[in-house]
Structure 1
Amino acid sequence: MSAYLPKSGPLLVACLLAASPAFTQTPIQPALGHRSIRLLTQNGLSFKDLNKNGKLDAYEDWRLPVPTRVQNLLGQMTLDEKVGLMLISTTRMAGDNSLRGGDGKTEITDGFNEEDLVQPNNMFTRKPLPVPIMSAVGTTKGVTQYHLRHFILRANPPAAVIASWTNNLQTLCETSRLGIPAMVASNPRNHVTIDAAVGLSVGKTAFSTWPGELGLAAMRDLKLTRAFADIARQEWAAVGLRKGYMYMADLATEPRWQRIEGTFGEDADLAADMVREIVLGFQGTKLGSTSVAMTTKHFPGGGPQLNGLDSHFDWGKFAHYPGGLFAYHLKPFKAAIAAGTSAIMPYYSAPKAGPAGEFEEVGFSYNKAIIQDLLRKQLGFKGIVNSDTGPIEMMPWGVENLTIPQRYQKALDAGVDLFSGTADPTILLDVVKQGLVPETRIDESVGRLLAEKFALGLFENPYVDVDRARTLVGNATFQQKADLAQRKSIVLLRNTANLLPLAPKTKVYFETYYDNGRSASPVTVYKPTKATNLELVGTKEEADVVVLWLIPTTGGLFASADKPIDLTLSKNKIDLKHVSTLMGSKPTVLAINFSSPWVLSEIEGDAKTVLATFGTTPDALLDIVGGTYKPTGKLPFTIPVSQQAVADNKSDVPGMQEPKGYALFPFGAGLTYGLVRAAK
């Protein structure tokens, strides 16, 4: 077997067929999707003439093992074509102006955006920009001139529009010299989330709407977690999204880290269980024609950031391990590897000297000891190493003094296969031509990338049924499961006066408080969108009980400053005077949405009935409050007792292992009701 292909491990099980003779069983004709090329017929079977040469090449022969097809295709590719395959960047649909800053919104359609957009950045000059700057290139130019075949879709149009656009993209790729299909990736699209920033989450979409990742962990229901992943897989594949830039195996051990919302909490064993179920739900036990390939991130764990500052920024470039728990953060990644995750993404961070001082202080994408020695040799990962967006040009932590070609050289030597954030292969191409990296090293990475495409069946049929996408994505049956998950994700932390569940017909004033900086008022008085056993009223004066749902926010990751965040409510856009007035007016059910482990010391003494949410809907919260569904959720992380406790924490240590007195509500806390009406 060629040196550039996986020799063992779970990445692409199809690759293991190389050890078996071809055609030992009667071949089953797969569906072949094509637009412009012709089909070849041999022994009553059909094949796509992808390179238009009128004969059946090995890479076109779906009967052959994946490694054989990869080797044949590699032998036909030019260096330009190989290098283009190693880049993945944001792609834009017609009407998508999201990377142009102040441009107004226009309708997004299934056409191509042909505008090049390469913006200068100074992220690596110690003068960080508010958000990372990513280059993009016109779609046709990217495919035909730069030979790009990996794309990140960040736009958020209806499902049918995405499906039609991916078909158009695959049609364009089919016309290329070798007919190599595209791989379209996305960040999560199925969750209720607060920080739906570029690179984190797409936010509310046409897809089924599930709790946030913390909420999934709060359910403590692995069967429903697997069902979520399987449903999301069906939706993604239906529109032509075949790679997920997800999920985060990072642990929420540093409460000030602003990406906790995307984790499965602080407990390594729980996170490992969640990651396993999600990988198997999206991919299956091996990649196939209905799979969505996962990119588990951010190796070796982005949670233990120094002072909680994030490594998107120069001021947050270091991870550290003051508690000596480096190995603890590897557990979820080990589970992902065992489940067969197709790719792993290293984080930008550089490991700070200390308990993990054996590692060079360079970003993990440049860190040979992390990728080659730890990830590949010790943990046995044979799949794709996909850099996070921009470590070459924007976040080259620890290698700032290297030239761009030297950074590529070091990252390739460390083991990166796919570079995210740039659409122009010129410099990487020159790196090879100048002899800084041998072409055999490029072949190693391209072999892995091609093997994934073959295993996913993209060479046979990359096209989707637009009408099916329109009816399948977000359908009522899928949403019914998601609605159950939303209810199971809610945690009852305190019910001191046994106020909950409220009796039927209780008059309730239900208010959400969320200062997102865009609405005229942070207050929304909720009116029901469906039948409820409670009577909702428009003012607190009319009510028997107030339900107040606080949604604190830091302003988002890319609003970060160069100092640790304060987790108290008043520092996260909550008006304490308003809260006090409401809570003093009537018996109050206080619900708080935890996108971070907020410190409740400012109101904690007055809060007799407390619920925790992690990205859910008002209807789900009302069903818990009214007893239609009894609370079963458990906290996925520890809620600290004070901001001083937060400041004193050890970043790599979960709250459950911090000294006595650290927790107001410990990991795993969660009450329920006694006799309640039947759950939905």
Structure 2
Amino acid sequence: MNPYENAALPIEERVTDLLSRMTVAEKAGLMFHAMVAVNPDGTLHEPDAEGGMFASTNWLVREKLITHVNILTMAPVPPATIAEWHNRIQELAAGNHLGIPMTISTDPRHGTVDNPATSAAAGGFSAWPEPIGLGATKDPELVRAFADTVRQEYLAAGIRVALHPMADLATEPRWARTSGTLGSDPSLVAELVAAYVQGLQGDQLGPDSVVAMVKHFPGAGPQKDGEDAHFPYGREQVYPGGRWDDHLKPFEAAFAAGVAQVMPYYGMPVGTSYDEVGFGFNKGIIEGLLRGHYGFDGVVCTDWGLVTDAEIMGSPMPARAWGVENLDRLTRVQRIIDAGADQLGGEFAPELVVELVERGRVTEERIDRSARRILRDKFRLGLFDDRRYVDAAAAREKIGTPAFLAAGLDAQHRSVVVLEAPALPLTEGITVYLDGVDPVVAARYAKVVTDPAEADVAIVRRGTAYDNTRTTGFEAFFHAGRLDWTAEEITPVLDLSGKLPTVVDVMLDRPAVLTQLAGTVAGLVGTFGASDEALLDVLFGRAAASGTLPFELPSSMAEVEAAREDVPNDTAHPLFPYGHGLTWPAR
């Protein structure tokens, strides 16, 4: 037994021993956090030909010596199958020179939004509201319970790094990633982020923990004009209200809670004292602010795809090297390392790190600093000891349990925000006409008819409006632009409400402009990833109405455009203010 394999020794001693045995190529492999596909049958992905979105898993692990992978499931894959896949990739990695175990990560998997760049729908995991819905509950204990459930379900599947929570503030209403935030109020979001980190990691990182990788430092909310930094037209972050410090408060709470890892965003700060380059390349942000000012010595992993141009879902995607687009790939990697990052997300080019060391452009001592941080977390998670493999059969019993499903449903109830309620709550047994609601579910509450003329009430579900001209491949997953409906979109709802009392629910993945509906319908509700069952439980009074808005709802797009991107709840005359929500107890 080598010292690094001896669980009785202190972790730092084990890390030092393992580092002494590693080649530069093996250390470089640690510094890449690549994407891998999980086949629907749980086998390792091996593409039929070169190219495509995902590389060969065998090639990444055995040839590139990658030991951190972010799983994507492009088709439904049951959690127990993910556990089987996990054991297969761990077995593959065990055959390498030093047998360094894999660390498996994922974007959120417990909500409704299914975006290959940001989150996956719950599938067989327990279903909860989107993070912004947790923000609508304003309850740190609920958020801690949610994160603890995520921890238990991830552990059973072999997932040990959560690429969440987002500690960004929802200060720019048009931003496409608002649903992943916990709201707009800096102080409340700080409380919720701390609870989230504690639920995932516990009091300290250990064998029963899931690493929280908090993102996107130093706060990705103030996107210029609400555009997203995945794309060149959204690369700028701006601070016209001078609220830079507000956006740091949730991260400060995460640091106090002991968060193990941090991800900077793609965006580049404009009009600040920092270099106008993407945060992943920004030495003043990572070495200066994060490591120097805050004293953070955990793993810093860049957001995905800063170095390599790619094609995603048929769309060409330039590397998100904002402000340093002129640099070649080798120099981009050098710039990221010099800035203080430890890992490159979504990349698999360790040969570039090896070349930098061989050319003397980066020292092996600098590589060792990152390797030490990365290995320390593997040891703390118990991956070198008895936590390398999971019991795939037991995963079926530990994930999506009745207790977890019930807790998720209760959280969905608590996230529902009743904005107006002239005719709410509804009486069970009435006759209802449905638009966007599953009639099988609704039949448990009322008599369902297909002719509005025969109904007592109509129940309609809609999503927040967005610029639906952006339909090309990857870009189509990011709902951006306008927040108000066109006449063509809203007229059917208004016509229906003119014929019979109509209750309208809007999925608020962003702060919708609801002026066209306010005061004209029998009930107006905002949800954040609530099932039909959760919504109807509240509408019919089976569950209490208790949620309140996690951001304000603007009255017009003109007011949105006049507001400052970095200032919370900054429109002049909001239709519904932050914290608004009508309440009633369960019947």
Q: Shorter-normalised TM-score: what interval?
A: over 0.9
What amino acid is aligned across from residue 46 of structure 2 in structure 1? E
State which of 459, 464, 469 in structure 2 corresponds to 1:547.
459
2:321 & 2:397 partners in 1: Cα distance? Answer: 44
Q: Is the 8 A contact 1:502 1:625 kept in 2?
A: yes
Residue aligning to 1:403 = 328
Q: Is 1:213 matched up with 2:131?
A: yes
Partner of 1:633: 547
Q: 2:168 aligns with which of 220, 228, 250?
A: 250
One-letter amino acid matched to 1:551:
G
Say what the alpha-carbon RMSD is for the aligned residues.
Answer: 2.0
Match of 1:11 in 2: none
Q: 1:286 to 1:224 in 2, by over 3 A?
A: same
Q: Helix, strand or coil: the match of 1:298?
A: strand
Which residue of the partner structure matches residue 397 of structure 2?
471
CA distance in 2, matches of 1:616, 1:171: 39
Unaligned stretches of 5+ residues in structure 2: 309-318
1:370 corresponds to 2:281 = no
Counterpart of 1:644? Answer: 558
Establish whether residue 240 from structure 1 lines up as the match of residue 158 from structure 2: yes
Deviation at 1:562, TM superposition (A): 12
Give yes or no for the alignment of 1:60 onto 2:5.
yes
Deviations, residues 620-646 of structure 1 (Å, cap 9, x unaligned): 111111111120001000101111000
1: CA distance between counterparts of 2:90 and 2:145? 29
2:26: which partner in 1? 81
Equivalent of 2:298, from 380, 383, 402? 383
Q: Which residue of 2 aligns with 1:522?
A: none
350, 356, 369: which is aligned to 1:444? 369
Q: 1:575 aligns to what SS in structure 2? A: helix
Task: Indicate conservation of the 8 Å contact 1:534/1:626, yes or no.
Answer: no
Tell me if structure 2 keeps the 8 A contact 1:405–1:431. yes
Aligned: 1:527 with 2:439: yes
Change (3 A) 1:179 1:666: same
CA–CA distance in structure 1, aligned partners of residues 297 and 48 of structure 2:
35
TM-score (norm 1): 0.81
Which residue of structure 2 aligns with residue 262 of structure 1? 180
Q: Secondary structure at the match of 1:235?
A: helix
Superposed, 1:163-242 pairs within 5 Å as: 163-193=83-113, 196-242=114-160
- Map of 2:241 onto structure 1: 323
Query: For 1:600, what is the secondary structure of its paired residue?
Result: coil
The answer to whether 1:491 aligns with 2:403 is no
Summarize the Cα distance change of 1:167–1:426 in structure 2 as closer, same or farther, 3 Å threshold. same
* 1:59-110 alpha-carbon deviations (Å, 9 max, x no partner): 111111111111110000000100011111111234xxxxxxxxxxxxx222
Displacement of 1:563? 12
How many angstroms does 1:174 deviate by?
A: 1.2
Q: Which amino acid aligns with 1:662?
A: H
The structural deviation recorded for 1:231 is 1.0
Where does residue 482 of structure 1 map in the other structure? Answer: 408
Q: How many residues align?
A: 570
SS at match of 1:68: helix
CA offsets 1:464-506 (integer angstroms, 9 cap, x no match): 00111012111111101111011000011112x3x11112322
**5+ unaligned residues in a row in structure 1: which ranges?**
1-55, 95-107, 120-132, 513-524
Aligned to 2:302, the other structure's residue is in SS state strand
Match for 1:109: what amino acid?
A: D
The reply to whether residue 278 of structure 1 matches residue 193 of structure 2 is no
> Residues 447 and 640 from structure 1, CA distance in 2 versus in 1: closer, same or farther, beyond 3 angstroms?
same
Native 8 Å contact 2:216 2:262 kept in 1: yes
SS at match of 1:663: coil
SS at match of 2:216: strand
CA contact (8 A) 2:420 2:582 kept: yes
Equivalent-residue separation in structure 2 for 1:623 and 1:384 (angstroms): 43
Residue of structure 2 aligned with 1:587, choices 501, 504, 507:
501
**Distance in structure 1 (CA, Å) of the matches to 2:258 and 2:208:** 15
Deviations 1:269-297 (A, max 9, x none): 12111111111111111111111111111
Partners of 1:154 and 1:586 lie apart in 2 by: 45
Q: Are the counterparts in 2 of residues 346 and 365 from structure 1 also a CA contact under 8 Å?
A: yes
Contact 1:84 1:148 in 2 (8 A): yes
* SS of 2:184 mapped into structure 1: coil
Q: Is 1:509 paired with 2:421?
A: no
Once residues 179 and 561 of structure 1 are traced to their aligned partners in structure 2, the CA distance between those partners, rounded to angstroms, is 38
The 3-state SS of whatever aligns with 1:184 is strand
Give the letter for the 1:664 counterpart: L
Question: d(CA) in 2 for partners of 1:489 and 1:536?
Answer: 26
Distance in 1, matches of 2:353 and 2:462, equals: 48
Please name the residue that 2:313 is paired with: none
- The whole-number CA distance in structure 1 between the counterparts of 2:475 and 2:102 is 33
| SS at 1:569 equivalent | coil
Bigger shift: 450-459 or 285-294?
285-294
Structure possessing the higher radius of gyration over alpha carbons: 1
Show the counterpart of 1:97. none
> What amino acid is the match of 1:157?
V
Decide which of 77, 91, 94 is 1:157's aligned counterpart: 77
Residues 309, 562 of structure 1: 8 Å contact kept: no
User: Which amino acid counterpart does residue 511 of structure 1 have in structure 2?
Assistant: D
Q: C-alpha separation between the residues in 2 aligned to 1:151 and 1:271?
A: 29
Q: Which SS does the other structure have where 1:351 is aligned?
A: strand
Q: TM-score, normalising length from structure 2?
A: 0.93
Report the residue type matching 2:41 in the other structure.
T
Higher helix share: 2
What do the CA deviations read for 1:188-215 (whole angstroms, capped 9, x no partner)? 100122xx22121112411000011111
Aligned-pair identity in percent equals 39
Q: What is the alpha-carbon distance in structure 1 between the residues aligned to residue 187 and residue 251 of structure 2?
A: 11
SS of match in other structure, 1:185: strand
Cα distance in 1, alignment partners of residues 476 and 443 from structure 2: 41
Match of 1:672 in 2: 583
Whether 2:531 is the aligned partner of 1:617: answer: yes
Give the 3-state SS of the residue equivalent to 2:460 in structure 1: strand
Partner secondary structure for residue 77 of structure 2:
coil
Against the structure 1 CA distance between its residues 220 and 562, is the aligned structure 2 distance closer, same or farther, given a 3 Å change threshold? closer
**1:57 positional shift:** 1.8
Distance 1:273 1:186, change over 3 A: same
SS of 2:61 mapped into structure 1: helix
SS at match of 2:286: helix
CA shift for structure 1 position 248: 0.8
Match of 1:567 in 2: 483
Equivalent-residue separation in structure 2 for 1:400 and 1:638 (angstroms): 37
Quick check: 1:414 aligned with 2:334?
A: no
Q: CA deviation at 1:671?
A: 0.9
State how far apart, in whole Å, the 1-side matches of 2:204 and 2:46 are.
36
Distance, in Å, in 2 between the alignment partners of 1:467 and 1:240 is 12
Go from structure 1 to structure 2 and tell me whether the alpha carbon gap of 1:210 and 1:442 turns closer, same or farther (over 3 Å shift).
same
* Whole-angstrom CA distance in 2 between matches of 1:242 and 1:111: 19
Map of 2:44 onto structure 1: 112
Shift in Å at residue 531 of structure 1? 7.2
Cα distance in 2, alignment partners of residues 534 and 622 from structure 1: 10
| Structure 2 letter corresponding to 1:209 | A
Secondary structure, counterpart of 1:624 in structure 2: helix
Greater shift, 175-184 or 552-561, is seen at 552-561
How far apart are 1:309 and its partner, in Å?
1.1
1:549 deviation in Å?
Answer: 1.4
Cα distance change, pair 116–263 in 1 and its aligned pair in 2 (3 A): farther
1:45 alignment partner in structure 2: none
Would the alpha carbon gap of residues 116 and 431 (structure 1) be closer, same or farther in structure 2, given more than 3 Å must change? farther
Letter matched to residue 559 of structure 1: E
SS at match of 2:301: strand
